[in-house]
C-alpha cells in the first residue's frame, strides 16, 4: 500500500518532540546498546517457544503451529487518555449487554424501530432457544474484547465488538511477564499499571455469575474444543491461572439436572462453564447434531437455571458487523447518552445504494464479512490487485448482505524495534472487559497487535501481525 498519508505517531509529536507518555521510555532507550536489545528480542522468542505460546493457522498444512512475533518496544498510554477510553468501553459494553437482554426478551429496541427487525430475526447468530430466558445475573457478555483503533490524539474508534469468545488475553499476560523478566529496571523507573491480576479477577467475576442453585463455593470449568484448536494454549493457560478445571465435551454429562464433570472420585457438579466453543457445537441435542465437542442436554440444564455459560449462547449477534453499524443507536437507546467512542463509518452492502457506492469505490475501502473474524475473508482495497478487486466485486454482487464496507482509516503508528533502530508500524488495541452483577472491570491495557510489514494495515496474527506489551501509566 502506498504510504502517502500522514499518520498519528503515538511516540513522536511534530518536530521530533516526544509525546509525554513515551518521554521516560525514550530517554531509557536512547542509552541502550542495540546489540543487547537484539539479543533480548531473541531471548523473548525462545521464551515464547519454550512456553508453547503458539497459534494454529487453519488451511495451511505447511505451518500448522506458529509463534506470534513479539516486539519488545511497549505501546504506552497516559493515565488520562486511558481513563477516557475506559469510560467509553464501559458505556459500550453495558449497552451491548442491555441490547442482548432486550432482543431475547421484550425487544423494545425493535418495536421502537431503532434496529431493523429483519436484521435480528434472520441473523444466523440470533438463537431462538434463548428467547424469554435471562442468564444468571442478567449477564450475557461475561468477557468482552473491544477492538479499537486510533487516528489522532483523542480520536479512538471501535473497529468491532467481540462478545462471543474473545481471545488473546493470554498473550497480553505473557507479553507483560516477558517484559518484566527482560527489563526489570524499566519497571522501577516507570510506574505501569499491572495486568497480572486478570486471572484472579476473571475467576471472581465468573463466581459472581454462578446460578442461584449453587450452594457454597462455585466450581468453574473451562470448556475447550481440544488441542487442535487455534487458541488451545490460551484455554489451558487460563484454566491453570484461575485454578479451574480444563475440560472437553466428553468430560461432562447431565447428572440429576446439573452438569457434572468426570473426576477420579466420580462425577462432580460444575456451576460455571467458561466455554471456548461456538454456539453451534455447544449441545448436539439443540444445535448441530453432529457436534462431538459439546455436551448433550446442556441447554436444558442452562434454561432450568442450573448452570452458567460464559459467554451466554446467542451473545454472538453482538459481534455481527451489520449490527455494529447500529451501535451508536444502541448505546443511546439503553444509556440515554451519546456514545463516547465512535464507530467507523460503515456501508451495509445489503442495501442497494450502499452496494453501488462500495462497488464504485472498492479500491479505497476495506470490505469484511458480516460474521468474519481473524482477518479472513476481507479485502483491503488500497492493497489489492486489479484481479483481487474484480473477484471480490463478484462476491459482493452474489451475496451483498454478507458484507459491510468501511473507509481505510489512517491507523496510528507506534515504534517497533528493527535492526536499524525504531521504526513506526500500524497498530490496533484489544482491551479485555469482565462483566458480572457486581459491575464492569476493564484491564488497564490490553493486547496491542502490530502490523510488522511496513505500510501494512492488517494486524491479525493469522495474517502475519505481531504483538507488544501495552502500558498504561500510573498517575
- Domain of 353: which CATH number? 3.30.1490.270
Residue 395's pLDDT is 93
- Chain centroid offset of residue 377 CA: 18
Residue 65's pLDDT is 60
Residue 395 belongs to what domain range? 345-408
- Is residue 180 within 8 A of residue 192, CB to CB? The reply is no
62: alpha, beta or left? (left if phi > 0; alpha if psi -120 to 50):
alpha
10-residue stretch averages of pLDDT, the chain, 475 residues long: 65 89 96 93 86 56 64 96 96 98 98 95 94 96 96 92 91 94 94 97 97 94 93 93 97 97 95 97 96 96 97 95 93 97 93 94 91 70 91 94 90 92 94 97 96 80 82 95
168: alpha, beta or left? (left if phi > 0; alpha if psi -120 to 50):
left
What is the rounded distance in angstroms from the CA atom of residue 198 to the CA atom of residue 172? 10
- Grid cell in block for residue 215: 450452594
What is the rounded distance in angstroms from the CA atom of residue 142 to the CA atom of residue 309? 9
Q: Residues 433, 438, 439, 445: is their CA dihedral positive or negative? A: negative
- Grid cell in block for residue 430: 484489544
In a domain, 357, yes or no: yes
In a domain, 239, yes or no: no
- Grid cell in block for residue 14: 511534530
b/e map 163-192, b = 16+ CB within 10 Å? bbbbbbbbbbbbbbebbeebbeebeeebeb
In a domain, 240, yes or no: no
In a domain, 389, yes or no: yes
DSSP reduced 3-state for 27? helix
**Number of domains composing the chain:** 1
Which helix H or strand E contains 95, and what residues bound it? helix 79-103
Residue 68's pLDDT is 81
- Grid cell in block for residue 474: 500510573
Residue 48's pLDDT is 82
- Is residue 18 within 8 A of residue 30, CB to CB? The reply is no
* Cα within 13 Å of Cα(180), Cβ side: 13
In a domain, 401, yes or no: yes
Nearest to 306 by CA among 329, 272, 331: 272
Going from the C-alpha of 186 to that of each of 10, 181, 183, 191, 255, the distances in angstroms are 19, 10, 5, 9, 53
Nearest to 138 by CA among 202, 208, 200, 218: 208
In a domain, 421, yes or no: no
- Is residue 299 within 8 A of residue 306, CB to CB? The reply is no
Residue 461's pLDDT is 67
Residue 36's pLDDT is 93
In a domain, 373, yes or no: yes
Q: Residues 354, 357, 362, 363: is their CA dihedral positive or negative? A: negative
- Is residue 393 within 8 A of residue 349, CB to CB? The reply is no
- Phi then psi dihedrals of residue 442, to 5 deg: -115, 125
In a domain, 22, yes or no: no
Residue 296's pLDDT is 97
Amino acid at each position: 500500500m502506498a504510504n502517502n498519508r500522514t499518520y498519528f505517531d503515538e511516540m513522536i509529536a511534530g518536530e521530533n518532540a516526544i509525546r509525554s507518555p513515551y518521554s521516560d521510555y525514550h530517554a531509557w532507550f536512547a542509552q541502550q546498546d542495540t546489540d543487547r536489545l537484539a539479543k533480548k528480542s531473541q531471548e523473548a522468542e525462545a521464551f515464547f517457544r519454550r512456553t508453547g505460546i503458539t497459534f494454529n493457522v487453519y488451511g495451511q498444512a505447511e505451518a500448522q503451529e506458529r509463534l506470534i512475533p513479539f516486539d519488545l518496544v511497549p505501546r504506552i498510554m497516559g493515565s488520562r487518555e486511558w481513563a477516557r477510553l475506559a469510560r467509553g468501553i464501559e458505556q459500550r459494553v453495558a449497552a451491548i449487554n442491555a441490547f442482548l437482554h432486550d432482543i431475547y426478551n421484550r425487544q423494545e429496541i425493535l418495536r421502537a424501530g431503532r434496529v431493523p427487525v429483519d436484521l435480528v430475526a434472520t441473523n444466523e447468530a440470533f438463537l431462538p432457544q434463548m428467547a424469554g430466558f435471562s442468564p444468571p445475573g442478567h449477564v450475557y457478555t461475561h468477557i468482552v474484547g473491544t477492538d479499537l483503533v486510533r487516528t489522532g490524539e483523542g480520536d479512538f474508534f471501535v473497529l468491532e465488538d467481540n462478545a462471543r469468545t474473545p481471545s488473546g488475553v493470554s498473550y497480553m499476560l505473557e507479553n507483560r511477564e516477558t517484559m518484566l523478566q527482560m527489563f526489570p529496571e524499566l519497571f522501577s523507573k516507570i510506574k505501569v499499571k499491572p495486568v497480572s491480576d486478570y486471572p484472579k479477577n476473571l475467576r471472581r467475576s465468573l463466581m459472581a455469575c454462578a446460578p442461584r442453585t449453587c450452594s457454597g463455593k462455585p466450581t468453574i470449568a473451562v470448556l475447550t474444543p481440544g488441542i487442535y484448536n487455534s487458541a488451545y494454549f490460551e484455554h489451558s493457560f487460563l484454566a491453570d491461572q484461575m485454578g479451574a478445571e480444563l475440560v472437553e465435551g466428553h468430560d461432562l454429562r447431565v447428572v440429576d439436572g446439573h452438569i457434572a464433570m468426570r473426576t477420579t472420585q466420580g462425577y462432580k457438579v460444575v456451576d460455571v462453564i467458561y466455554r471456548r466453543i461456538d454456539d453451534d457445537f455447544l449441545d448436539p441435542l439443540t444445535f448441530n447434531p453432529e457436534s462431538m465437542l459439546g455436551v448433550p442436554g446442556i441447554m436444558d440444564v442452562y434454561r432450568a437455571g442450573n448452570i452458567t455459560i460464559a459467554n451466554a449462547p446467542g451473545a454472538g449477534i453482538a459481534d455481527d458487523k451489520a449490527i455494529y453499524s447500529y451501535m451508536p443507536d444502541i448505546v443511546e437507546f439503553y444509556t440515554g447518552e451519546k456514545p463516547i467512542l465512535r464507530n467507523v463509518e460503515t456501508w451495509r452492502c445489503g442495501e442497494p445504494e450502499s452496494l453501488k457506492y462500495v462497488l464504485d469505490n472498492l479500491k479505497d475501502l476495506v470490505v469484511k464479512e458480516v460474521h468474519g473474524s481473524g482477518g479472513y475473508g476481507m479485502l483491503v482495497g488500497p492493497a489489492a490487485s486489479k484481479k483481487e478487486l474484480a473477484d471480490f466485486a463478484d462476491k459482493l454482487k452474489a451475496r451483498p448482505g454478507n458484507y459491510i464496507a468501511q473507509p481505510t482509516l489512517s491507523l496510528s503508528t507506534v515504534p517497533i524495534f528493527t535492526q536499524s533502530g525504531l521504526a513506526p508500524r500500524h497498530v490496533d488495541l484489544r482491551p479485555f472487559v469482565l462483566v458480572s452483577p457486581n459491575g464492569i472491570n476493564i484491564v488497564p491495557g490490553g493486547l496491542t497487535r502490530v502490523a510488522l510489514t511496513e505500510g501494512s494495515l492488517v494486524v491479525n496474527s493469522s495474517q502475519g501481525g505481531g504483538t507488544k506489551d501495552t502500558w498504561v501509566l500510573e498517575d
